[in-house]
Structure 1
Amino acid sequence: MASRPRRTLLAALVAASVALPLSGAARPAAVPAPVPAPSAVGPLTSAAPAALEKRYAATRDGIHAAARTAAGHGDTRRAAALRSMAAPDRRFLVFDGRDGGRTVEVLGDLAHAERIAVLVPGADTGLDTYGRFRTGAEALLRELGGAGGRAAVVAWMGYKSPGTVSTDALSPGRAEDAAPGLRAFVDGLRAGRPAARITLLCHSYGSVVCARAAPGLPVADIVLYGSPGTGADHVRQLRTRARVWAGRGADDWIARVPHVRLSLPGVRAGFGTDPMAAEFGARVFDAGAGGHGDYLAPGSVSLANIARIVAGKGTSRA
């Protein structure tokens, strides 16, 4: 007979497979967008100010083009959001409006940053929900102003994230697809800013993406928060020299996700050991009393501790 955690995961798989067709009514990926210019999606080759400004201009042109296409399609909400993203004070290193969207936005002065935080989002993050992802990045940048300064935050929405209510959210498939792009981006960032301290911040399903990208990645710290697991049983299996941290808010529903892995015909499900568990071997930090979407909330314990990790100061609470 299957153990209780395995039965729970099987029930979740069944529920997700039923709910998925019902939850896709809006189908944001169906909104058309033009093919981006290579200069708006290619690897980062320089972090010099002039090169970055040229890159920002190319992506801005691509966002304007996508806004016009969305408006022609009749999606006024998407068009308005894209026009906002194309504002002169916004800086994108990558923009591709197709299939739900891929973006990499810079907050702060990347060309001179000594500390760089790369945010990797979890499920249900796309162009139509991008605002909440960016809000967290803005809060972190403000916090870093008092936790070390001279910082930049990169909001890396570089993959097609799964829906929370979907079988994809229970499988490593999307993470495996995303990992090469994240690795390439961080490698380019390291080449462009060789002296900067880079931290990878991985929320929810984003922690699965980070785990797949982790081997040999040139970052100082990898921070997993609100994580369902990584697919590894111990930090050693991530094959990284970075310090690995884990935190979970007291009111985060992710704590109830079974920490098991199942191999079913044609399906892999579950992510194994809880990163908060002692046997995983991560450095546990206090994430306060918040829920699954509260880790970068202004004034929160979790935001303060994440900012301290980015600044290289450890945490104030454990």
Structure 2
Amino acid sequence: MGDSGNLEASIDRLLNEEKQMRLAENVAGTRKAATEILQLCFEAKDWKLLNEQILNLSKKRGQLKQAVQSMVQQAMQYIDQTPDIETRIELIKTLNNVSAGKIYVEIERARLTRKLAKIKEDQGQIAEAADLMQEVAVETFGAMAKTEKIAFILEQVRLCLDRQDYVRAQILSRKINPRVFDADTKKDKKKPKEGENIVEEAPADIPTLLELKRIYYELMIRYYSHNNEYLEICRSYKSIYDIPSVKETPEQWIPILRKICWFLVLAPHDPMQSSLLNATLEDKNLPQGNHGSQSRTQILSMSFIGFRETFF
């Protein structure tokens, strides 16, 4: 009872302080008072009160954007420390409600949505997870890191494939231009001009651009396999094969090159198939031999057989 009374008294004191700072438009003071209130609730493990205070503070008249942003960012750190899944979901939903429609916390909202979608997926609710992810259009977020945008869209694509919504998966995949994976990441980043958004650093758990490239093409292989688009499957494997880290590791490139050969043989003959066939036949990793007057497809088929005998 005493601890509860102390908590209530401390929060009341900070609420008065927050009000004074907010009315004086003191950003640092408002932010400090608001986040201290949340920290008190967290330390007391009073999750219900935490949710109430987040909503209460965010709805204060003339509440400062910086204070709301700081509250959301701080409360997000508490998510993984919740005692059970129900408490976790409730906190995420509270933060989603606070961040809804606010551009200055759109990145936080996207991350919260992804967390909630992951929970739904773990509970076997794939359709619900996919619907949640599609509510957020990260391609319009100017301040979100490029890799985080791509990772988010790829999650949208994956969930659509998991629910066998191939039409939506294709639409979402077109939001990613494959040429983005060939960008020179070593180039110095340009400093934003006045008035431009400052791009945030991607979280540590976001894959690198080349890792995202592999994920992208693996998802596209799943999509093309649905319609038996053998040439597109082959081209996707070729894009994975060309990733430097893959080419440096025989355990990785051997099975991929084998699949390139296989799907090239299955693909209908056309100029693109012919071009890829010629390029593949010139690959030094492919077993070579004297094939006389045999057709290129026959050569590739025999190379594929020899390739299997060589490496398997």
TM-score (norm 1): 0.28
Structure with the higher helix share, 1 or 2: 2
TM-score (norm 2): 0.28
Q: Which fold has the larger relative contact order, with Cα–Cα distance below 8 Å and residues 6 or more apart in sequence?
A: 1
Q: Give 1 or 2 for the bigger CA radius of gyration.
A: 2
